[in-house]
Structure 1
Amino acid sequence: MAAARAESYFAESYFHTYSVVGLVAVVGVLFVAVAFAAGHLLRPVAPTREKMLTYECGVDPVGEGWAQTQIRYYVYAFLYVIFAVDAIYLFPWATVFAAPGFGGTTLVEMFVFIGFLAVGLLYAWKKGVLEWT
């Protein structure tokens, strides 16, 4: 009898937490929908030819929409993301490494992870990506 009551309590508590999350999600969606609707209803509508032009930081748009960008900017951003992810994984690894019983396994895993990053960095260096000229 007590086990059935405890199971019923845990089931109610379990679904209650999900109902709270669902309610917060619905309220959030309604809040955004009401804000967009209010903005649509309250804004002034006076379209002119100048207002319909593309805005380019105060400069009148001239020429074509095609502009070439150096690929090295993207490569540097990509390398930054790789090493930022590396840092994100190093901090939790250091806390697990200090826990008893995880030393050897986590050490090997981290050497494999850092090895993959080193191979990527070596590849970028050999390709000359890291030289700014």
Structure 2
Amino acid sequence: MTPLSHMDFAHPYFGAFFLLIFGAVVFYGITILARTVSRKMARLDTEKLKLTIYECGPEVTKQPNKISAHFYLFAVLFILFDVEIIFMFPWAVNFRVLGMFGFIEMILFVLILSIGFAYAWRKGALEWHSIR
């Protein structure tokens, strides 16, 4: 009896599992090797050159963000309420097949979205404030 006789290498998925593990180890090793080599070979004395302006323009200074968060909030709300149309279209196509159950489900769906819309409206998410 050999010491490895208790292991079953004849399993049909053993080769695929081995290749998966081997590929992950090789990928990790190459990534670490590339990172290490690039850090050793990088020239650190050119850091100021990398931060300078290319071609022309004003000096780079940090400025506060002047873009209002309302743009982001308005976009998220638009996507949220626009996606409801995607869910309503298949319902409208199969309205007769779904019957009363489908109608009640869509009423609940619209009710939940209406509650979310009312909440956003009440919190002032749809009011446009001046950026000044």
Q: Normalising by the residue count of structure 2, what TM-score does the alignment of the two structures yield?
A: 0.50
The structure with the larger Rg is 2
The structure with higher relative contact order (CA 8 Å, sep 6+) is: 2
